[in-house]
Structure 1
């Protein structure tokens, strides 16, 4: 297009005169009739110039939009071409499936509409589809969809939240029920992991009726496939009498409020049991006896128990996770001769049972459970001296994890603890330790010196195939293989930890992190 033809183009002299007139001339006779006619002609020409410029701008905007659209098309094509080189496309289906299984560990299906004045158990902060990862990935591309549809394990992890009134409103809940049925159908005969939350009026669904409470009925029709069940609700699961008429041949993991609620199931095959409310010792011991195959026991926090005496001896249980308070007092006073894994959550070690501090019970407990190979303490209100005393009677310990408490109480991660873990010619605390993870959340004024920690790790690392490593093995002492140290409240001096980088080159797995990320 030819350049715009400018009709009005005032020179510098004319502009100066115009500005002078604007500043100094005023009144009814400021502009003569001849001058007024001249100005009107100039204004008319200026208006035409502006119209021409508007037209040119519209044309240019149109061209810009065309260029932008062309750019977006090219970028889309480039992205598609680039995706052909994506490493993800090279993954075999077996490896991709393993990744997708990690993503699809929980598919939350919540009744909609939620027929209650109460807030639902889970509040969505993002689109509902994001809570259904298996359905989401099956919509990504044809390969992922084909893989998802051919993999029933991806559809077998369900969390279902239901609100019951006197009757399910089938028509209103048709989308919810269809989603549940789609997952049940696509999971085939794969064992189901089910987290079930039922709020509202107690109900007695019947498979024979098949009309009332269809969402519950459809789940119960697949009871033979239940491998893991977590139940939360306004009413005890024993209120659902229909469950006592069903068979659960695969049920191996049970997560319920009360241990006695589990009596509604066939308990012979349950190997993992988690309960939130712990009864008194006699009732607890009697109920526990109905789980002869139990291997892993997890107990929630209980402030008080009517009777906190010993449960006796349980040789089959090999793993225990227990919260603080009365729950831990029952465990620490009992015997588990085959125990090899112990997790203690939020231990209020300052509590007392009678006149005996819980620290004493803990130390006595681990000394009786000499086979413990893995110890995890989360938020332990425990002094370094008591922890060292406990470690002295744990010669088989292989893995130690400590997450400090976030409150101002004695915490065990101190210079004294780290120094005690340093290999000495005469004393070698936990001689078989393979991995150590320490996470510190606050400065209690007695945190381990960085150089002391480095020295401890160096003392426990034996270069593979070296004479020292062979000599230590003959003495029943192992080289540490993995170390993690994390401070959430301060930075770490990367230069101080440089010697550990050298050990990493020899094979040690080490992570040292400060407030702003990993440094080693």
Structure 2
């Protein structure tokens, strides 16, 4: 607890002491507050003899506190009133260190919603103001902590110009309050502006742009292009991430952010590369027809890429082109739209045309599934891809991808550094699921095995099963075989110790009795979660 021991002039009356405690939450320690409560006891107020100055002075209080009670303070009603006031200052939460309180406050104040809309159904969500109105102590902490005011979500939704001028004026005052109390802290801005009239939100956006140099994260959701709200020429010195959510996939342009030298991540449904990316640009998440080759040429320092749409139209020429090496790419996510035949070629295009020698994370998922029947796993392409890109892959994720157990087994054997495996059979037909008893038995480890084990460095396993039949007993045996009881037993073995297991069922019940014997592994430090859909872990 932070205690302010420097008080300046000491208050002379009990009333002033209580006022001091209310205005300055850290002026007195909990022990001193308890002494004040004792002084408010109506019995103690009457038993102290008057001093030469005509005052009562309780012996329990520090000597440097000269408290003037006066005759009127011997009133039992007034004594109980003071005790009631001081009770709040002795609550258990006051014993929490200020640093711990701030951690709790930051967790609560992840976003502050400031809205000005037609419909009264939307409620403001301003956790930092709620905290500040709880008590003087919390208000002081909230006011003096700029980071609590820096996460601002602004929603302006009017079909026409707002008729309630006073409400819009109050909205701007509230926005100005947040911007002012955030001081020089980096800002997290989430701008939601539906509609096609950019003039309605212009005053609020103008206020935000006055602090554009402090923007660190910017998210935009609206019907217009971002250039309709933000003109050219603004400097975004600390901006590191941009996230766009708009229906105008093919018209989104990035000219307003041309002066963002520290931009590192771009999440955009449709991106037009009309500016030179900054030297620190490392991540992109796009759903666009722009070719992957064009993206890596324009952004040579990319480290994280999520690609959704394909621009390759001739699958017969995939193997005729030389591979392009992307040296710095660490994370690659491929999202397949199986409802569009052309987009099914996206994975073939990337696997055949590129190599990523520094790749550590590979995720392949189906976004708009077609029951997993239209996408056949490209075994030969994946084999050639792994020959140049599998050495450092530590995380492999498959979601809703049609792949047989034998093909998956081949892929796992080709990933010697794999530590984290995540497989989901969502949207796949029951006979198309790669999560079978054969796959589970494939992961079993035994010191008597002569051949090389599959995924010897596996530390984290996550399975999401949407089918009906699952071999719980075999899975439990595999988990036990992969979990060495003590770390010193790992030395000399050819297998890592399994640290985390997550198993989610979406169409069947959990047989808790089968997994009861695994609870002992939890007590030894392994994270184990077996749950049903909609059931809390």
1:385 equivalent in structure 2: 406
Q: CA deviation at 1:241?
A: 5.6
Match of 2:464 among 405, 425, 439: 439
Deviation track 1:347-366 (CA, whole Å, cap 9, x = no partner) reads 555445xxx74566556545
Equivalence map 1:44-59=2 (5 Å): none
Q: What is the SS of the residue equivalent to 1:479?
A: coil
1:404–1:105 distance in 2 versus 1, CA, 3 Å = farther
Correspondence for 1:208: none
Are the counterparts in 2 of residues 401 and 438 from structure 1 also a CA contact under 8 Å?
yes
Contact 1:107 1:159 in 2 (8 A): yes
CA distance in 2: counterparts of 1:177 and 1:336, whole angstroms: 49
2:96 corresponds in structure 1 to 91
Among 230, 234, 238, the residue aligned to 2:219: 230
* Separation in structure 2 between the aligned mates of residue 89 and residue 307 of structure 1, nearest angstrom: 68
Q: Which residue is equivalent to 2:280?
A: none
- Distance change >3 Å, CA 412–CA 140, structure 1 → 2: farther
Post-superposition Cα deviations, 1:63-94, rounded to whole Å, max 9, x if no partner, equal: xxxxxxxxxxxxxx99x9799664x5443222
Q: What is the deviation of 1:339?
A: 2.1
Matches within 5 A, 1:8-407: 86=92, 88-113=93-118, 124=122, 128-129=123-124, 131-163=125-157, 171-201=166-196, 203=198, 213-240=202-229, 242=231, 244-256=232-244, 261-266=253-258, 268-277=261-270, 278-282=287-291, 285-287=293-295, 289-299=297-307, 301-302=308-309, 312-325=324-337, 326=343, 328=347, 330-333=349-352, 334-346=354-366, 348=369, 350-351=373-374, 357-358=377-378, 361=381, 364-366=384-386, 368-370=388-390, 371-406=392-427
Query: How far apart, CA to CA, are the structure 2 residues paired with 1:84 and 1:407?
Result: 59
CA contact (8 A) 1:319 1:339 kept: yes
For 1:142 and 1:363, locate their aligned partners in 2 and report how far apart those are by CA, in whole Å.
Answer: 65
- The separation in 2 between residues aligned to 1:100 and 1:322, in whole angstroms, is 37
Is the 8 Å Cα contact of residues 108 and 160 (structure 1) preserved in structure 2?
Answer: yes
Whether 2:438 is the aligned partner of 1:416: answer yes
Partner deviation per Cα, 1:430-453 (whole Å, 9 max, x = no partner):
11111112232342x4x2x11111
Instruction: Sort the Cα spacing of 1:93 and 1:350 in 2 relative to 1 into closer, same or farther, 3 A.
Output: farther
Q: Specify the alignment match of 1:53 in structure 2.
A: none
The answer to whether the 8 A contact 2:190-2:219 is kept is yes
**1:504 aligned onto 2:512:** no
Q: Mark the CA change 1:255 to 1:399 in structure 2 (over 3 Å): closer, same or farther.
A: same
Secondary structure at the counterpart of residue 254 of structure 2: helix
Contact 2:401 2:428 in 1 (8 A): no
With the length of structure 1 as denominator, give the TM-score of the two structures: 0.68
Q: Contact 1:159/1:195 (CA < 8 Å) preserved in 2?
A: yes
- Find the aligned partners of 1:395 and 1:83 in 2 and give their Cα distance: 59
Asked if structure 2 preserves the Cα contact closer than 8 Å seen for 1:156 and 1:191, the reply is yes
Contact preservation (8 Å) 1:351, 1:357? no
Equivalence map 1:475-494=2 (5 Å): 475=494, 477-494=495-512
Query: SS in structure 2 opposite 1:397?
Result: coil
Larger Rg: 1
| Aligned match of 1:457 | 479
Distance 1:419 1:378, change over 3 A: same
Cα distance in 1 for partners of 2:150, 2:111 equals 9
The verdict on how the C-alpha distance between 1:292 and 1:165 changes in structure 2, with shifts beyond 3 A counting, is farther
TM-score, length-normalised on structure 2? 0.66
How many equivalent pairs are there? 412
